[in-house]
Chain A
C-alpha cells in the first residue's frame, strides 16, 4: 500500500476488496431486514386469512389518497437517490448533492404525510393502546388490523428516519469532498438501503390500503 490510499482501511488489501466487503455487508444487512419485516408480514397474512371481512373494513379506515401520494413521493425519491449514486460514481459531487437533498426533501414529505395520517387516526379515536373506541361489528379484529397498520408503517417510518439521517451525513461528507471516486462506496450502499425501504412500502401500500379495493 505504497501510493497509500488513505481510503483503504488497514485490514484490506486494496480498494476493490474494501468495496466488495462493504457492498456485501449491506446486502446481508438487507437480508436481515427482510426477515425482520417478514415476521410482521407473516402475522399479517395469518390474521388476514382468519378475518378477511374485518381486514377489509379496517382497510377502509386508511386514507387511500394520502397513501397513493406517498407511494409516488417515495418512488420519486428512489429515482433521485439512483441519480445521486450515479453522479457520485462519476465524480460530479455538485449534482450528487442536489440529488441527495432532493431525496431528503421527498423523504421528509413522505414522513409529513404519514404524520398527517397518524394525526387523523388519533382524531378518529382509532389508535390501539391510546384511544381505540371503534364500535361496530368485529371491532376487536379491526383493532388487530389497525395494530398491524401502526406496527408496519411505524417500523417503516423508523427506517425512513434513519435513512434521512444517513443521507444527511452523505450530503455533508460529499460537500467536504470525502466521497469523491474511488471513495464513493458509502453513497452506493446508502442507495441500497434507501431502495430497500422504498420496496417495503411498495408491499405495505396494497396490503394495508387496498384490501377492500382488491376485493
Chain B
C-alpha cells in the first residue's frame, strides 16, 4: 500500500471535509448520538474493554494451570474464574462483537441508507448493554459467580453462595440489547434498501447478519424467560427447577440450550459474513455460488434451533431424543461445509494477495474447519460420552469462537478500518499481529484437543502430573496470543492520529460502503445510490490497490 497516500484526492482530505467524526465534538455529542456509525464506535469501545476483562480471567486460569497442583488459586476461585471468563466473553464480547460493531456501522452503508430504521432504539440498545455489562462487572468485583457460564440448576438456584443474581440480571438485561439490534437490522434490511438493491444483490455479510438477527429475535427471549424463572426460583424457592419440590432441573437445561445453541451460531454466522466479503476482494473474483452461501446462512439459523439436545447427551434425556439431536447436529454441518467449499472455490484461480484482512480470513477458514469437524466428533453419541466435559470440548468451541469469530472480527476491523477511522493502519505490524495471533492460538488450543482426548476434565484447577507438558504448551501459547491481541490495540489507536488518510476505496472493493468518502459523512451518501450490478463484480475491476 505504498502508493496510497498519493491516491488521496483533494476533496477526500478528511481533515477539512465534514464527516461523522468531526461534525460535533464533546461527550454529549457521543452519548446522545443516534448516528449508527457513532453507536458502532460506542459498542467498539465497550466490547474492547470487556474483551480485555474477560481475557484477564483467562490469563489467571492459564497461569494456574502451569503446575499440576494449581498453586496459584484455590479451587473455589478457579470456579469463579472460568465462570466469569465464559460469561463476559460470550455475552459481552462475542455476541455483540461483529453484529453490534461492524453490523451497526455497515448495514445502512451497505444498503445505501442514511441510518438504521430505528436510530433511537439503536442507541437504547447500547445503554441496555452498558447497564447489563455494569451489573456483570459489579458481580465480578463483589466476588464473582461460580456456576459456570451455563447457570445450571439446582446449583445456581439452591447451592451456590456466590453473586448469581446480579450476574443473571445483567445477562437478562443485555439480552434485550441483542433483541433490539436484531429487530433493527431485520426492519432496516426489509424496508430501506436503495433502489436496485434486490435481495440477491445484497452483500453476503448482510445475509449472515439477517440470519443472526433472526436468532436474536427468536432465541434471546427464551433465555430471558429462563433467567427470570431462575431468579424467581433462587429468591422465592418456588420449585420450578427443584426436583425436591416436583420441578425438573433438566427443563432449565432445555430452555437454556434452546437459546444458547442458536447463540453459538450468533457467534459464528457474522464471522462467516465478514469472510464472505474479504475473500472475493482479495482473490479479485466473484464469490463462488452466491445463492448457496446466502441460503446456507439461513439454513444454519433454522437448523440451529433444532440441535440444542446435543449438549445434554449425558444429562439423562432419552436415548431416542439423543439420536435425533445427533442426526440434526450432523445436518447443521452441511450448510457450514457448503460455505467452506465455496470460499475455497472462490480462491481457486483467483488473483490472491495477502493483505491483513485476507490473512485473518484464511486463518478463519482453516481454524473454523478444524473446529467444525471436531464438532462432528462431539455430535456422535458414543464419542461424546468419552470426551464430554473434557478439554476436547474446550478446544472445539475455542476453535470456533476464537479461531473463527475473533479472527473474523479482527479481519473485519482491519478491512473496514480505513472506512471507520479514515486512516490506514500500518500494514507490516498488522500482518505480524495476524501471524502471532494464528500461531499463539494454535499453540494454546491444539494441545487441549489432546488433553481432552487423554481424559483431562474441564473446570478443574488441578490435574495429574502427566498432563503438565501439554498444559505448559497451552499456557505458553496463551501468552503469545495475548501479545497478538495487544499489538493491534496499539497500532490501531496510533493510526487514528498518525496513520495516513485513507481514500474512499483503499481495496478497490465492490459494495456501496466504498462509494462514499472515508470516513463517511453523517448522512452516509450525498445522494441515495442506485445499484445496477450484482455484489462482488470483481472481474471487471482492475487490481489497482497494490
List chain A positions with a Cβ less than 8 A from chain B. 9-13, 17, 20-21, 24-25, 28-29, 31-33, 35-40, 42-43, 46-47, 50-51, 54, 128-130, 140-141, 143-144, 147, 151
Contact = CB atoms under 8 A, between A and B. Distances in A.
Given A28-B183, A39-B221, A39-B222, 9 more contacts: A21-B190, A21-B192, A31-B218, A32-B220, A35-B221, A36-B221, A39-B255, A42-B255, A144-B246
- Ranked nearest first, the 8 interchain pairs of A and B with the lowest CB-CB distance are A129-B236, A39-B225, A11-B115, A36-B221, A35-B221, A21-B117, A21-B191, A140-B246
Contacts of A38: 221-222, 225
Contacts of A32: 179, 183, 217-218, 220-221
19 contacts: A11-B108, A17-B191, A20-B190, A21-B117, A24-B186, A25-B184, A25-B187, A32-B221, A37-B225, A40-B229, A46-B248, A54-B246, A128-B238, A129-B232, A129-B235, A140-B246, A147-B239, A147-B240, A151-B229
Interface in B106-122: 108, 113-119, 121
B363 interface: no
Query: Which secondary structure dominates where chain A touches chain B?
Result: helix
Contact of A51 (B113, B121, B246): B246
A111 to B, nearest CB: 21
Nearest to A39: B225
B109 to A, nearest CB: 13
A39 B251 CA distance: 10
Contacts of A28: 183, 186-187, 217
A143 B238 contact: yes
A29 B183 contact: yes
Contact of B217 (A31, A39, A144): A31
B186 A143 contact: no
B143 interface: no
Of A12, A28, A32, A143, the most chain B CB neighbours within 10 A belong to A32
B35 to A, nearest CB: 10
B266 interface: no
A33 B221 contact: yes
B528 interface: yes
Contacts, number: 116
A11 B225 contact: no
Contacts of B220: 32
B222 A36 contact: yes
A151 B225 CA distance: 10
B251 A43 contact: yes
A144 B247 contact: yes
A12 B240 CA distance: 47
Contact of A11 (B186, B192, B235): B192
B240 A144 contact: yes
B239 A10 contact: no
A50 B232 CA distance: 21
B237 interface: yes
Given A11-B119, A24-B187, A140 B245 contact: yes
A51 B114 CA distance: 55
Contacts of A9: 119
A47 B238 CA distance: 14
B140 interface: no
A35 B237 contact: no
Given A32-B179, A51-B246, A151 B222 contact: no
Nearest to A41: B225
A17 B221 CA distance: 28
Contacts of B246: 47, 50-51, 54, 140-141, 143-144
A60 B235 CA distance: 27
Contact of A43 (B117, B187, B190, B229): B229
Interface in B179-228: 179, 183-184, 186-188, 190-192, 217-222, 224-226
Contacts of B192: 11-13, 17, 21
Contacts of A33: 221
Given A51-B246, A128-B238, A129-B236, A36 B224 contact: yes
Contacts of A47: 246-248
A116 to B, nearest CB: 22
Contacts of B255: 39, 42-43
Contact of A24 (B190, B523, B528): B190
Contacts of B183: 25, 28-29, 32
A36 B225 contact: yes
Contacts of A17: 191-192
B219 A35 contact: yes
A10 B115 contact: yes
A43 B226 CA distance: 10
A11 B116 contact: yes
Interface in B78-125: 108, 113-119, 121
Given A10-B115, A35-B221, A144 B245 contact: yes
